[in-house]
Structure 1
Amino acid sequence: MKIIVPMAGKGSRLRPHTLTVPKPLIPIAGKPIVQRLVEDIAKVAGEKIDEVAFIIGDFGAEVEASLIKIAENLGAKASIYTQDIALGTAHAIKCAEASMTGNVVVAFADTLFRADFTLDTNSDGVIWVKKVDDPSAFGVVKLDDYGFITDFIEKPQTFISDLAIIGIYYFNSGEKLMDEINHIMDNDIKVSGEYQLTTALENLRQKGAKFSLGKVDDWMDCGNKNATVETNGKILEYEKDEFTEFPQSANIQNSLIIQPCYIGEGVEISNSKIGPYVSLGKGTKVINSNIDNSLIQEKTIIDHGNLSNSMIGSSAQYFGVAREISLGDFSVLDFLSK
């Protein structure tokens, strides 16, 4: 089985954190989003992952090396493709056409999920969905009385269904999907100016393909700062048994840690209260601070911070008392000297 991961988007809603790091590589509880995604898929796939194909933008050699390592850690081959221009979800998959053979899982690197199921590899495909309050921002599906999908609709402006496609799909034939994607691109069939995967899925359905429904227990968005901080907290709660011990290189003095928290290698904490639901990346230093429900990346300094629902990037410095902030990599915010 292969995993195809389109991840070339700029992540503009998560700026300033995506100005220096592609969104799928932002760590959540110590692991990049995309690493957590492919590991979660591998757990539920039920068979060996032979290849992980990443569709990226102009991210550079260092990012490509990180992605190759993620695939190799699963015992899989890594393939890297580039999407130079964002022309829609179907176009993104087209960029990885050489890898679209046999059984494939397509997973867009925008979200994380929790689910407990066995993948039905005998069906034509499985589309994972989640009920949402506002389906107008998503592709949605309609079902028949037997639970099979009868319609795929991209971002409906009037209510049709509240079953939103979360961006994870299984296909028993990557070749058949590519035939439909090539058809809509060759004939310039667009929705809202882009080549949409839902168009290809609807074409396959009309030709007799049976798509079943995959439901997730939790769908965790990483689209903006608030959603990413919330997802960090959920992952810490789900995996709290993995965070009961801190690395020996961490130096914690005169401080209270309220679990669950992720404490990275070389973290220094003094005279502070940390947690619950806080991630502190490798080499970060926290002094005289109270922090809860926040995501702090690597090699950052926080002094006299009183932070909640906050996200701070790597190699940043924060001195002050604000309750909620979003501070990007290599930034300095100093309230103490004023």
Structure 2
Amino acid sequence: MKAVIQCGGKGTRLRPYTMVLPKPLMPIQSKPVLEMLIKWLRRNDICEIYITTGYLGHLIKSFCGDGQQWDMKITYTDEKEPLGTIGPISMLKSELTSTFMVINGDVLTDLSIGAFAACHKSSGAIVTVATAQRDTVMNFGVIESSDGRVTSFKEKPSFTNQMSMGIYCMEPEVFKFIPNRIPFGFDDLAFCLLNRGERLQTYSHAGLWLDIGRVEDFQLAQTLNWDEEAPAYERMEFVA
């Protein structure tokens, strides 16, 4: 199976660091996020990837080259203007002719691609989204009222939600719903599929997932044991 890594974003949540480095090259201890992501794909037997580039894309190309150092084949696309999280894959329509993956370039996870792909295939969906549960704490007191009278008050309540991990398994039929070379996000694709009655599947992952674009996750990643020889449970031991 082929995979597309989305690396065209500006990484605004990690500024000022991303003023000089694209987000996928931000270091986790001694290695860039993108290198760790590529090695994860290779361990899961993916040998051919496409990297979509835009902002500071020349640095990504210079670092990764053609992928031979990881026994992989890497091909690049260039965004002349930002195309969102899904729009860039429209440039790869002729290359992605069987089931493929799309992954945000700032994700670290121990997701089993084999199990993920098997769930996708058995569901018959055009798109399957990898999901994880996250607790979100409101930083404000939340008031409920009726006719102006307060009926309840909660100080900084916490909500548990099912979050998209930024990892997708797709069928080539998805290109029918993606416009060519205009900004188009996964939210646009999801709305389009749902409005047309197409099946959009989820795959729940209970293990490691970090979104390096979030300052909190970026800092947490610096504390973990990323020894590639260590079992997955050891690499996850500091995850709350």
Give the match for residue 257 of structure 1.
none
Measure, in 2, the Cα distance between the counterparts of 1:230 and 1:101: 38
Residue 209 of structure 1 pairs with residue 208 of structure 2: no
Mark the CA change 1:165 to 1:226 in structure 2 (over 3 Å): closer, same or farther.
Answer: closer
Choose from 72, 84, 106 the match for 1:88: 84
Partner amino acid for 2:63? S
Selected match of 1:199 from 188, 192, 197: 188
Q: Which residue does 2:227 correspond to in 1? A: 239
Where does 1:1-338 land on structure 2 (aligned, <5 Å)? 1-44=1-44, 48-59=45-56, 61-69=58-66, 71-116=67-112, 118=115, 119-120=117-118, 122-123=121-122, 124=125, 125-134=127-136, 162-171=161-170, 173=171, 175-182=172-179, 195-204=184-193, 206-209=196-199, 211-234=201-224, 236=225, 238-239=226-227
**Equivalent pair of 1:6/1:54 in contact (CA under 8 Å):** yes
Relative contact order, higher structure (CA 8 A, sep 6+): 2
Measured after TM superposition, the shift of residue 225 of structure 1 is 4.1
Is this contact kept in 2: 1:114–1:216, CA < 8 A?
A: no
Deviation by residue 1:108-152 (Cα, 9 ceiling, x = unmatched): 01221123562316243431111123499xxxxxxxxxxxxxxxx
The one-letter code matched in structure 2 to 1:166 is M
Question: Residue deviations 1:11-40, cap 9 Å, x none?
Answer: 122122112111101221322101211222
Structure 1 unaligned regions, length at least 5: 137-159, 189-193, 243-259, 261-276, 278-338
Structure 1 residues 90, 224: CA separation in 2 closer, same or farther (over 3 Å shift)?
closer
- Is the contact made by 1:83 and 1:95 (CA closer than 8 Å) also made in structure 2? no
What is the RMSD of the two structures over their aligned residues, measured on CA atoms? Answer: 3.2
Comparing 85-94 with 105-114, greater Cα deviation is found at 85-94
Aligned partners of 2:53, 2:28: CA distance in 1, in Å?
20
Q: Is contact 1:126-1:214 (8 Å) kept?
A: no
CA contact (8 A) 2:42 2:72 kept: no
- Partner-residue secondary structure (3-state), 2:135: coil
Aligned mates of 1:22, 1:169 — CA distance in 2: 22
Which deviations, in whole Å up to 9, do the C-alpha atoms of 1:154-201 show, x marking residues without a partner?
Answer: xxxxxx981111100112x2x21111113xx69x8xxxxx52223324
Q: Distance in 1 between matches of 2:184 and 2:47?
A: 28
Cα distance in structure 2, aligned partners of 1:93 and 1:161: 31
Structure 2: gaps (5+ residues): 139-158
Sequence identity (%): 20
Whole-Å separation in 2 of the counterparts to 1:221 and 1:202: 23
* Structure-2 change in CA distance of 1:216 and 1:37 (3 Å): farther
C-alpha distance in 2 between matches for 1:53 and 1:9: 15
Question: Normalised by the size of structure 1, how large is the TM-score?
Answer: 0.52
User: What secondary structure is seen at the aligned counterpart in 1 of 2:128?
Assistant: strand
* Larger Rg belongs to: 1
**What amino acid does structure 2 have at the position aligned with 1:232?**
Q
Aligned residues: 205
